[in-house]
């Protein structure tokens, strides 16, 4: 069985993607931007707070598909400025210090909105 979770943003049907897809016990979460409930970018200029918002958005996706942060086995962090890795890493650790998924941090040249400094994606495997 395949389940999709859409966040309701206008570009999902245009681009043809879902925020999350669950197949069996595996959930794949798209790269998730630091957007608030109104769709606006949260905390411009603050990569740590943007990381927190990305992970909160991932948690919403996981929960909508029957998962939780504790099920995450991999994260990937795409960042505009890798020299700010400590703020990003600290924020990631606030959520994942005891879960300890494998992770990757990669610097990219930019995102679709220049206010975005961080985007995070995740994969989870549900037990049971």
pLDDT one digit per residue (tens) for the chain, 128 residues: 999 999 888 778 899 999 999 999 999 999 999 999 888 999 999 999 999 999 999 999 999 999 999 999 999 999 999 999 999 999 999 999 999 999 999 999 999 999 999 999 999 999 86
**Consecutive H or E run containing 58:** helix 47-64
Strand, helix or coil at 41? Answer: strand
How many domains does the chain fold into?
Answer: 1
| Other Cβ atoms closer than 10 A to 9 | 14
Expressed as residue numbers, the domain containing 35 is 2-125
CATH number for position 21 = 3.30.1330.40
């Amino acid at each position: 069985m395949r389940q999709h979770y859409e966040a309701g943003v206008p570009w999902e049907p245009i681009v043809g993607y879902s925020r999350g897809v669950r197949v069996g016990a595996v959930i794949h979460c798209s790269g998730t931007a630091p957007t608030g409930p109104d769709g606006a970018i949260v905390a411009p200029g603050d990569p740590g707070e943007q990381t927190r918002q990305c992970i909160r958005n991932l948690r919403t996706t996981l929960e909508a598909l029957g998962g939780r942060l504790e099920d995450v086995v991999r994260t990937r962090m795409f960042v505009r400025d890798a020299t700010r890795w400590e703020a990003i890493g600290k924020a990631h650790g606030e959520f994942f210090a005891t879960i300890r998924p494998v992770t990757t941090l990669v610097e990219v040249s930019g995102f679709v909105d220049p206010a975005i400094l961080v985007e995070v994606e995740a994969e989870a495997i549900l037990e049971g």
